[in-house]
């Protein structure tokens, strides 16, 4: 069985490192992924926004070296998250958990004159 996801896209916002009560370090990033085909109705490329969870050293390095607009590649796995929001009411959703992040290119910065 294979559980592998590979995503390449731009960061939607600056990643921020959080430290949990047990000392684990984590960040959550959202990747903007432009589809490879145009929307038949609008004639433009649609974009998907995928949220990914990064842990420990991967999280620290991403926060240190990446900013909003940076292009990254993420090799990840899918996991099921279970969330209870009311007594007896819950839902399950897929979560993308990064196993490796490759820094492809930062967003070019405009030079001021």
Q: What is the pLDDT of residue 39?
A: 87
pLDDT at position 113: 56
pLDDT at 27: 96
Instruction: Provide the mean pLDDT of the chain.
Output: 90
Tokens 């819950």 identify what position? Answer: 90
Domains of the chain listed by start with CATH number: 5-105 (2.40.50.140)
Which of these, 31, 35, 51, 53, lies nearest to 43 by C-alpha position? 35
pLDDT, tens only, 19-46:
999 999 999 999 999 988 988 898 899 9
> Looking at per-residue confidence, does 90 or 110 come out higher?
90
CA 67/CA 26 separation, integer angstroms: 16
pTM of the model: 0.80
Mean predicted confidence (pLDDT) in 81-95: 86
DSSP assignment of 52-74, as one string? EEEEHHHHHHHHHH--TT-EEEE
């Amino acid at each position: 069985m294979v559980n592998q996801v590979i995503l390449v896209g731009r960061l939607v916002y600056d990643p921020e490192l959080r430290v949990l009560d047990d000392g684990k370090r984590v960040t959550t990033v959202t990747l903007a992924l432009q589809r490879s085909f145009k929307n038949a109705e609008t004639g433009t490329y649609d974009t998907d926004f995928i949220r990914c969870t990064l842990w420990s050293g991967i999280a620290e390095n991403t926060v240190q070296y990446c900013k909003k607009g940076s292009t990254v590649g993420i090799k990840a796995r899918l996991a099921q998250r279970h969330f209870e929001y009311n007594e007896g009411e819950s839902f399950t959703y897929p979560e993308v958990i990064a196993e490796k992040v490759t820094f492809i290119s930062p967003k070019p910065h405009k030079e001021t004159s």
